[in-house]
Amino acid sequence: MYVVANRIYVRRAFAAPFEQAFAAHADDGEGVPGMIRNLVLRPDNPDEQPYIVMTFWESLEAFRAWTQSESFRRAHAGMAHAPRDMYWRQNQLEIYEVIQDTGGL
């Protein structure tokens, strides 16, 4: 299993529209081959911490295939038109292979 974490640095003033954009596309991940789970984590202090979007995948190949799909383009279409000052830092994409899981996902 793989976990992909996207750290997105959103200014506090844009937190509500950012969250609304994610809510509007909540169903886009349903039925994506290889996707196990999707979490959106809200920071306690958005001026110092990023939102973290975590997706769980059966394989790295499944994640990469999704990034080339129409579902991916739909899910990210709204963010392409976001105001430039919405973010206070460039996002960071991190990919991890799970080597131990005691939570039973």
For residue range 76-104, what is the model confidence (pLDDT) as tens digits? 776 666 777 888 889 999 999 999 999 86
pLDDT in tens, 22-42: 787 666 667 889 999 999 999
Q: Domains (ranges, CATH) in the chain?
A: 2-97 (3.30.70.100)
pLDDT band at 15 (very low <50, low <70, confident <90, very high): very high
pLDDT at residue number 72: 82
* Cβ–Cβ under 8 Å, residues 96 and 7: no
pLDDT at residue number 78: 64
Task: Pick 71 or 4 by higher pLDDT.
Answer: 4
Detail the DSSP E strand segments found in 1-105.
2-10, 35-41, 51-57, 87-97
pLDDT at residue number 37: 92
Least confident range from 45-49, 67-71, 72-76: namely 72-76
Total-model pTM: 0.84
Residues 45 and 22: their CA atoms lie apart, in Å, by 19
Q: How far is residue 36 from each of residues 1, 18, 31, 50, 89, measured CA to CA in Å? A: 9, 23, 10, 23, 28
pLDDT at residue number 20: 87
